Amino acid sequence: MKGDTNEQALLKGLAHNDSKAIEIIYKDNFNMIQAFILNNNGSYDEARDIFQEAMIALYEKSQTDSFVLTCQIKTYLYSICRRLWLKRLQQMGRYTGSIDGFEETVAVEEDWENHEKRNAEFAIMDRALNSLGEPCKSLLQGYYLKKMDMNALAAEFGYTNADNAKNQKYKCLMRLKKLFFSQYNIGE
Amino acid sequence: MDDILLLDAIERYLSGEMSAEERSYFENLRKTTPEIDQMVVEHNMFLHQIADYAANIQIKQTLHEVHQYLLERGDLNEGGAISTKGKVIQFWNKYKRVTAIAASVGGVIALFISGLAMYFSTSVNDPKLEQLGKDLEVVKKNQQAQVNIINEVTSKIPTNARLLSGGSGFLVDPKGYIVTNAHILKGTGAIVVNSKGAEFKSSIVLIDHDKDLAILKINDEEYESVKSIPYSIQKTNSSLGEEIFTLGYPRNEIVYGMGYLSAKTGFNGDSLSYQIQISANPGNSGAPVFNKNGEVIGVLSTRQAQADGVAFAVKSKNIHSIIEDLKKSDTAFRKVKLPSKSALKGVERKTQITKVEDCVFFVKAYTK
């Protein structure tokens, strides 16, 4: 079962972080997931978390070169959410042994593991960035996250010129790399 | 410092910013120096990590915004947290079509009801009622017939303007404010003619179709304000059987008529007007109806088609209310004051008429 052209377009939009496409996917699927979570001991906040997590998993999947979705978006999101919620319930000790919901599911184990791995990496990056201290953290965030150019960064942080800012950025980057890889390799 | 230079080189190499020459040199360096090669691979991986990390933050941000947006619009519901705004919007979005259909059905019903209301109301559209404004095509012919006699008066009606209708009107303020019937003023402007045949330009300052009353203001240099208006405008209701008289322009000349107040309500119980017994003709519309003390008790407006001598007059208290409306509409009209004392009490009818006739005008409405 291959997603129709409309779904293909939506996934393309999602891959490019297009808010219109995300809005449509969100609107079409959120209520179903929310009902599922609420029916299985979950809260509104948890429904939101789980759904957004699944959206991110789908987003990550859409980024890969060999990306093909072999089912409907709806089925995929439901499968991920179901898997996620089951794990969450078990972690919290609220799992009662059965979970309601009779929607069709697809195998998402592989994607799921990838997503978990990515999340772990992001957590490491997050920790590394946060232990950098200022101004390194903001400087690197400005360059790599907000994609500001060196001149703008020099102006914002008060460096006399872009070259000085660039020097500082490399120093910070080396520290970040060190922090990141020390954690990352342990994780491996 | 060397490390920094190297890092810079690697970043430029990875982002493709190097020139071809520099690039081949650097690639050569990679091949010969395993440490540098290792650094490039490592750094490439790290840059991907950081880019993915940035993308992850961005998609989270987008998801958060979309969630908030949909929540506000009411497309999502998170229990009690839902705002009424969301509810209303959701309701609107959900029932837009139904609402549109309902509105059009409502529109049709409204039209139907207003049609019914028109049919049953005392409106002047009723075939049983005749407005006493007159078709000035006739007047025009009359004028043409009499052109030799009244040749000396050059008309103030703008050239190219077409006369539409005519009726009567009377002064309510010496400065040139004239009350008449709204139904007379069919066109875009009006001129008024006094009992001596002098024409004055005037403008419509207020028109109230519900009360069938309108106010004209003479704005003509040749108009000389009357010293005072001899009659007053009654505020209270008059009694049945009261003797009344009127002065109007069913012809090009002022005409006197006399009768009595026959009912306290107008056609079909219309409480805005009186029924009066008087011989009224087209052109009498807008004429003042006086009681024997020279107080204006109403404005002659319509007559019953099948019945002889049965006419209707808008009650004079409505004049008070439209003057109030006029004062509210513009500060320029704040000084308009209705005459409060009648100087005609106990005076012989002939004298009353001579005093009043200067204040009664022939109103001609035209359109350009």
| Average confidence (pLDDT) per 10 residues, chain A, 188 residues | 68 84 87 86 87 89 79 85 86 68 71 84 85 82 81 79 80 84 67
Alpha carbon distance B45, B55 (integer Å): 15
Mutate one of B5, B6, B52, B53 to test the A interface: name it (highest A CB count within 10 A).
B53
- Closest alpha carbon within chain B to A120: B53
More confident residue, B318 or B36: B318
Each residue's pLDDT tens digit, B68-78: 888 887 777 77
Answer for the pair A79, A108: CB distance below 8 angstroms, yes or no.
Answer: yes
Residue B144: per-residue pLDDT: 46
Q: Which two tokens stand for residue B37?
A: 């090669």
Kind of pairing between the strands at B232-233 and B295-304:
parallel
Please check whether residue A30 touches B, CB under 8 A: yes
| pLDDT for B179 beyond 90 | yes
- Closest alpha carbon within chain B to A117: B49
Among B4, B52, B59, beta carbon nearest to A167: B4
Give the closest-approach CA distance of B24 to chain A in angstroms.
24
Alpha carbon distance B332, B20 (integer Å): 84
Residue B92: per-residue pLDDT: 59
Alpha carbon distance B35, B171 (integer Å): 109
How far CA B312 is from CA of B133, B281, B298, in Å, comes to 13, 12, 9
Residues of chain A found within 8 Å of residue B65, distances taken between Cβ atoms: 19
Secondary-structure class of domain B130-368 per CATH: mainly beta
CB contact under 8 A, A48 and B78: yes
Answer for the pair B291, B238: CB distance below 8 angstroms, yes or no.
Answer: yes
- Closest alpha carbon within chain B to A28: B75
Q: Which residue from A172, A134, A133 is spatially nearest to B3, judged by alpha carbons?
A: A172
ipTM: 0.82
How far CA B284 is from CA of B165, B195, B217, B230, B352, in Å, comes to 12, 14, 20, 20, 19
Residue B276: per-residue pLDDT: 92
| pLDDT for B296 beyond 90 | yes
Residue B300: per-residue pLDDT: 92
Query: Any idea where the domains of chain A sit in the sequence?
Result: 5-107, 131-187
Alpha carbon distance B228, B343 (integer Å): 10
Residue B88: per-residue pLDDT: 53
| pLDDT for B90 beyond 90 | no
Buried b (16+ CB within 10 A) or exposed e, B126-155: beebbbbbbebeebeeebeeeeeeeeeeee
Please check whether residue A59 touches B, CB under 8 A: yes
| pLDDT for B84 beyond 50 | no
Q: Which two tokens stand for residue B338?
A: 């209705």
Q: Following CA atoms B57, B59, B62, B68 in sequence, which dihedral angle do they give, to the nearest 10 degrees? A: -80
Q: Where are the alpha helices (DSSP H) in chain A?
A: 5-15, 19-39, 44-63, 73-92, 109-130, 136-140, 150-157, 162-187
Phi, psi of B169 (to 5 degrees): -160, 165
Q: Domain A5-107 belongs to what architecture? A: Orthogonal Bundle (1.10)
Q: For chain B, how are helix, strand and coil distributed in percent, rounded to 5?
A: 40, 25, 35
Residue where the block lists tokens 């404004």 = B133
Mutate one of A144, A146, A148, A163 to test the B interface: name it (highest B CB count within 10 A).
A144
CB contact under 8 A, A23 and B69: yes
Mutate one of B57, B62, B71, B75 to test the A interface: name it (highest A CB count within 10 A).
B62
Kind of pairing between the strands at B288-291 and B243-248:
antiparallel
Residue A94: per-residue pLDDT: 67
Query: Any idea where the domains of chain B sit in the sequence?
Result: 2-70, 80-120, 130-368
Mutate one of B5, B50, B60, B89 to test the A interface: name it (highest A CB count within 10 A).
B50
A97 alpha-carbon distance from chain centroid: 29
Residues of chain B found within 8 Å of residue A188, distances taken between Cβ atoms: none
Give the closest-approach CA distance of B98 to chain A in angstroms.
22
User: How sure is the predictor about B124, in pLDDT bands with cuts at 50, 70 and 90?
Assistant: low
* Residue B203 three-state SS: strand
Among B3, B67, B75, beta carbon nearest to A48: B67
User: How sure is the predictor about B316, in pLDDT bands with cuts at 50, 70 and 90?
Assistant: very high
